[in-house]
Amino acid sequence: MIPASRAARALLALALPLFSVLPLQAAPAPAQDPATAVAPPAPAGPRVWLVGPSQPLSQALRRAADGDVIELLPGDYTERLLIQDRRLTIRGVRGGEPPRVVGGGQPVAARALWTIQGGEVLLENLEFRGARSTDGAGAAVRQEGGRLVLRRCRFFDNEHGLVALNDPKAEVQVEGGVFGLAPRVVGGLHHLVTIGRIARFSVTGTRFQQGFEGHLLKTRARETLIAYNFIHDGLRGGASLEIDIALAGDATVIGNVIAQGSDTQNPVLLSYGSEGAAWELNRLRVAHNTFVNHGWMPAWFLRVHRDRLPPGLELVAVNNLLVGGGLFEWLNEGRFEGNRHATRGALADFATNAFELPPSSSLRGQAADLRALGLPQLLPVAEFDWSEGRKPLDPPPERRTRWSPGAFQK
Return the percent helix, strand and coil in the chain, to nearest 5. 10, 40, 55
Distance, in Å, from the CA atom of 148 to the CA atom of 90, rounded to the nearest integer, reads 11
Q: Which amino acid is at 224?
A: T
CB atoms closer than 10 angstroms to residue 149:
17
Cis peptide bond N-terminal to 34, omega within 30: no
Distance, in Å, from the CA atom of 122 to the CA atom of 194, rounded to the nearest integer, reads 18
| pLDDT confidence of residue 96 | 79
**Residue 382, beta-bridge partner list:** 392
Distance, in Å, from the CA atom of 274 to the CA atom of 284, rounded to the nearest integer, reads 13
| pLDDT confidence of residue 207 | 97
Distance, in Å, from the CA atom of 215 to the CA atom of 10, rounded to the nearest integer, reads 40
Taking only Cα atoms into account, the Rg of the chain, rounded to an integer number of angstroms, comes to 24
Q: Are 281 and 246 a contacting pair, CB within 8 Å?
A: no
Q: Are 241 and 268 a contacting pair, CB within 8 Å?
A: yes
| pLDDT confidence of residue 12 | 47
| pLDDT confidence of residue 107 | 76
Q: Are 232 and 257 a contacting pair, CB within 8 Å?
A: yes
Full-model pTM: 0.90
| pLDDT confidence of residue 291 | 98
User: If DSSP codes are grouped into helix, strand and coil, which group holds residue 13?
Assistant: helix
Per-residue pLDDT of the chain in tens (410 residues, 90 and over written 9) = 333 445 445 444 444 443 345 565 433 434 444 433 444 455 567 899 999 999 999 999 999 999 999 999 999 999 999 999 999 999 999 887 899 999 988 777 779 999 999 999 999 999 999 999 988 889 999 999 999 999 999 999 999 999 999 999 999 999 999 999 988 876 667 899 999 999 999 999 999 998 888 899 999 999 999 999 999 988 777 899 999 999 999 999 999 999 998 888 899 999 999 999 999 999 999 999 999 999 889 999 999 999 999 999 999 999 999 999 999 999 899 999 999 999 999 999 998 999 999 999 999 999 999 999 999 999 999 999 999 999 999 999 999 999 999 999 98
